[in-house]
Structure 1
Amino acid sequence: MLITLKHFFDYPDLSPGMLTKLRAANVDTEKLARVAIKYNLHNYLRHKMPLLKGQVEEFKKAILEYPLHSVGLIDPPKILADLVESLIGAIHSDSNCLDTTWQVVNNLLQPLITPEKLEVNPVTKLYELCQKKGLKIKFVDHWEKTGEVEVFVDGKFVGKGKSCGKKITAKNRAAHNAYEQVVQNLNVEVDQLCDETQS
């Protein structure tokens, strides 16, 4: 609610759809997990999950590649986001004041993603590109067996993604890889047309 209010007043001309996407990017599981890592909150978590340490280390390495947000390419440990949500809830319960809670939350969540830095989800990005170019997309789901999702555009294999954690992460990675390949293929076609025209 606090982030929604901030965005509503900071960006009065933004459409409701864009405000929703902006809010989601600033409070989703990845963003909150990043906060937990930034402030080393995971060090205070009492648990009996032997795999968590490895997952946290993997997440810490992965976020180095995406300084602000990965847009679904990273699979963050949900418990880190839960930890930050619990902290925010505790601050609100303790202070019983939204203003005090906002002062803490606003600092915790920095840097906030702005409309200029808001990226499009890889699946949406791929669909938009292919729709614009009249290309047909097909996702082939092998996730249950191999943790992989493949992408075919106009019947040709253009990319795959893998994630043992979540199918949506595998699909996002597949779309990201496919997008890069489709753009590369389109650039090659344009270069060939230019060469033929010059000849």
Structure 2
Amino acid sequence: MYNKYPGLSPGLLTDLRSASVNNDCYARSAIEADLHKHILHASLELHRDIVVTTKDVEKLSSEPTFGWETRTYFPKVLGDIIESLAGTIVVDSGFNKETVFRSIMPLLEPLITPDTVQIHPIRELQEYCRKQHFIMEKPLVSKNNGLACATVRVLANGNVYEKTCQADHKKTAKMLACKEVLTSLKNNNSRNKLMTSYFLLI
């Protein structure tokens, strides 16, 4: 990415790397290549998670998704398949980087680009709050009827923005809650700008 996009800022290059090299990205690639069918294990919980995840991926659009919009939880073992394959090819090829890239890149296509990259909602909310001088409290995570429950709360200009989301796993619940709070903050900011423009006009 550094060689392909030499003019990018270090921050955007970091976003590209984070969006391209993560468990969800690798896990989805493993499912689309049917690699999950070759995992040998004796865990009922893992079997259930893989079945649920596979069904969720099949329901998603066939169009590539480059963001964090899915509610699907991807078990880490699925992402590990891609990393294990890459590691095996590294050793078998005598540590030939080009051979590894040629073998693994087709599994990861289409790749994320500067035009399609999206920042993870948790980090985006943290950066937005820092830029606007808002106070983001530490998310509260609990269990409710077997589901993970995450509450995200932000204090902004005397107002409280709080959202609670549930999901099968706490990471997903926290991500969804951050997305909703971020959307509320941005919508409110847009309304404030419109009102300011209106009063300036009159």
Q: Which bracket does the TM-score occupy, shorter chain normalised?
A: 0.7 to 0.9
In structure 2, do the counterparts of structure 1 residues 104 and 140 end up closer, same or farther at CA, with 3 Å as the change threshold?
A: closer
Structure 1 vs Structure 2 CA RMSD: 2.9
Deviation at 1:81, TM superposition (A): 0.9
Counterpart of 1:95, as a letter, is S
Distance 1:183 1:58 in 2: 33
Structure with the larger helix share: 1
Q: 2:186 corresponds to which residue? A: 183
Post-superposition Cα deviations, 1:131-187, rounded to whole Å, max 9, x if no partner, equal: 44443332441x244422212232524312334434x43322211011122223334
Q: Structure 1 vs Structure 2: percent identity of aligned residues?
A: 28
User: Where does the alignment leave 5 or more consecutive residues of structure 2 unmatched?
Assistant: none
* TM-score where L is the length of structure 2: 0.77
In structure 2, do the counterparts of structure 1 residues 192 and 18 end up closer, same or farther at CA, with 3 Å as the change threshold?
A: closer
Q: Is the 8 A contact 1:139 1:151 kept in 2?
A: yes
Deviation at 1:197, TM superposition (A): 6.9
What is the SS of the residue equivalent to 1:9?
coil
Q: 1:87 corresponds to which residue? A: 85
Deviation at 1:92, TM superposition (A): 2.5
User: Where does the alignment leave 5 or more consecutive residues of structure 1 unmatched?
Assistant: 1-6
Q: 1:138 corresponds to which residue? A: 137
Counterpart of 2:48, as a letter, is G
Q: Does 1:172 align with 2:171?
A: no
In structure 2, do the counterparts of structure 1 residues 137 and 54 end up closer, same or farther at CA, with 3 Å as the change threshold?
A: same
* TM-score where L is the length of structure 1: 0.78
Matches within 5 A, 1:19-168: 19-60=13-54, 61=56, 64=60, 67-70=65-68, 74-96=72-94, 97-141=96-140, 143-146=141-144, 147-154=148-155, 156-166=160-170, 168=171
